[in-house]
Amino acid sequence: MRADNTSAGLSVLAACTSDVRLWYMQNGLQLNLDKSETLIVGTSSQLKQVQPVVPSMTVAEVNLPVSEQMKVLGVILDR
């Protein structure tokens, strides 16, 4: 997503993840939204443009807060 147009990027993300969730349901699979996190990664200047505007994101039709860091397969990712 572009830092200067976060609303468009977030709309695309919400629509795409909603479609993924629907595909999962149609194929007998389930997303575990209790274990889901969001993280915005970018340069310092990009994060300054985005951070005050995006406290949370809609992913697979669920509103998730934006984290400072997350752990994926034992690796800690941060901004």
Question: Residues 14-46: pLDDT tens digits?
Answer: 898 899 889 999 999 988 878 788 888 888 888
Tokens of 60: 């697979």
Mean pLDDT, residues 44-57 taken together: 78
Residues 6, 43: Cα–Cα separation, whole Å: 15
Could you tell me the pTM of the whole model? 0.68
What percent of the residues of the chain are helix, what percent strand, and what percent coil, each to the nearest 5?
A: 45, 25, 30
Split into its structural domains, the chain has a count of 1
Map tokens 């997303």 to a residue: 31
Segments forming the whole domain that contains residue 56: 3-78
| Segment (H or E) for 41 | none
Q: What is the pLDDT of residue 10?
A: 85
Contacts of 59 (CB under 8 A, 6+ apart): 13, 14, 17, 33, 36, 38
